[in-house]
């Protein structure tokens, strides 16, 4: 193996093991050998995404595509970042359409269609997302993760009959996949199978907590400061609904509240809402679930925004008697 290939292989190996700094060093050494390498730029983009630097990730992916306009992997990687966390769904769709012209096998087709689906769903275009599901291969899928992801897509458009066997297969084939167990829980919940749903959600929670922290994760003190900035940025009328001296941060909802029906991937919970006195608003203590917030935010830059948005949603629920004041099941994947 030549030195350039050795640096790339080592970089990908380190990236897959979560060593983003080591992977970046390997990618830059590869670029020192070949500054026009699309593969090295693609690796640098992947590393930047791991580190939460999504603008740099896009820049490197775009450079890789500029050097090789048939580079399918870089297109899909860039589309994924555009979808989450950047939320630029039109850019993602454009890249997915380019990628679909380049696919050469079912695995590549599924990868491109899944990202296209997520972008359409992100735009709120449920009809086009549902129509896109007809383009998925029938299976069986060689890649068990494809079985799950296609099943998840079918679940999201309400096709539970087709989704169920794929998700159940994914749970059996990849028992360590928290996403598969989470969607299994959603399926059981849809069927009214409360005990089975709770068991699946608890297993998903357990597996989520075993995952490594993102490379960009904040210290507990820094995360707490971010939470308090989000609270301070609320409108005064909304902030008055919270006991600001009673805000608690923990990794995930406790087993006891998941058993009671709270989504294991809830971002937060407003609890012990005080009855409003005449002329005043209710006030609640707050539990913030750090691991779930980090999963949704994707980087430091989006943490405060996600916390603020979640607080606004849940306070609105408190103020609306017809709504539940906690993030209860069933919920979708973005919670």
Q: Do the beta carbons of residue 317 and residue 262 sit within 8 Å?
A: no
Answering whether pTM is above 0.75, one says yes
The pLDDT value recorded for residue 321 is 53
- The CATH fold assigned to 220-319 is Zincin-like (3.30.2010)
**Locus of tokens 């490379």:** 215
| Res 235 pLDDT > 90 | yes
Helix (H) or strand (E) holding 126: helix 126-132
The set of residues, in sequence order, having a beta carbon less than 8 Å from that of 218 and lying 6+ positions away, is 226, 300, 303
More confident residue, 333 or 231: 231
Q: Do the beta carbons of residue 269 and residue 247 sit within 8 Å?
A: no
Taken as a whole, the chain contains a residue count of: 335
The tens digit of pLDDT for each residue in 308-326 reads 999 999 998 877 754 444 4
What values do phi and psi take at 137, rounded to 5? -60, 155
Q: Which two tokens stand for residue 73?
A: 């992997």
DSSP 184: H
Q: Do the beta carbons of residue 284 and residue 300 sit within 8 Å?
A: no
The tens digit of pLDDT for each residue in 79-113 reads 999 999 999 999 999 999 999 999 999 999 999 99
The pLDDT value recorded for residue 114 is 98
Q: Do the beta carbons of residue 30 and residue 8 sit within 8 Å?
A: yes
Domain boundaries defined on the chain: 3-210, 220-319
* Rounded distance between C-alpha atoms, residue 329 and residue 261, angstroms: 6
Residue by residue, what is the 3-state secondary structure of 70-90? CCHHHHHHHHHHHHHHHCCHH
Q: 37-41, 82-86, 273-277, 298-302: which has the minimum mean pLDDT? A: 273-277
Write down the CATH superfamily of domain 3-210. Tetratricopeptide repeat domain (1.25.40.10)
| Res 32 pLDDT > 80 | yes
Q: Do the beta carbons of residue 125 and residue 133 sit within 8 Å?
A: no
* Rounded distance between C-alpha atoms, residue 164 and residue 52, angstroms: 34
269 strand-pairing partners: 287, 326
């Amino acid at each position: 193996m030549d030195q350039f290939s050795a640096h790339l292989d080592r970089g990908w190996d380190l990236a897959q093991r979560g060593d983003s700094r080591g992977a970046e060093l390997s990618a830059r050494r590869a670029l020192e050998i070949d500054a026009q390498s699309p593969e090295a730029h693609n690796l640098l983009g992947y590393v930047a995404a791991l580190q939460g630097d999504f603008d740099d990730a896009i820049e490197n992916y775009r450079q890789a595509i500029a050097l090789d306009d048939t580079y399918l992997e870089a297109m899909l990687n860039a589309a994924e970042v555009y979808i989450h966390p950047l939320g630029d769904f039109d850019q993602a769709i454009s890249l997915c359409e380019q990628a679909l012209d380049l696919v050469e096998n079912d695995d590549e087709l599924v990868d491109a269609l899944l990202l296209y689906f997520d972008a359409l769903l992100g735009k709120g275009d449920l009809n086009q997302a549902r129509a896109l599901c007809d383009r998925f291969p029938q299976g069986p899928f060689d890649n068990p993760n494809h079985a799950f992801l296609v099943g998840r897509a079918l679940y999201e458009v309400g096709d539970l009959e087709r989704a169920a066997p794929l998700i159940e297969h994914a749970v059996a084939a990849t028992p360590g996949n928290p996403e598969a167990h989470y969607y299994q829980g959603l399926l059981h919940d849809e069927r009214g199978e409360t005990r089975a749903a709770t068991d699946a959600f608890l297993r998903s929670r357990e597996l989520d907590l075993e995952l490594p922290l993102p490379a960009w994760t904040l210290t507990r003190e820094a995360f707490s400061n971010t939470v308090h900035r989000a609270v301070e940025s609320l409108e005064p009328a909304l902030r008055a609904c919270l006991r600001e001296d009673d805000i608690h941060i923990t990794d995930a909802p406790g087993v006891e509240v998941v058993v009671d029906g709270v989504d294991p991937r809830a971002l937060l919970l407003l609890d012990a809402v005080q009855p409003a006195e005449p002329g005043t608003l209710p006030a609640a203590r707050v539990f913030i679930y750090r691991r779930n917030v980090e999963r949704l935010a994707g980087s430091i830059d989006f943490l405060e925004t996600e916390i603020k948005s979640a607080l606004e949603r849940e306070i609105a629920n408190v103020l609306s008697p017809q709504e539940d004041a906690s993030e209860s099941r069933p919920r979708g994947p973005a919670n």
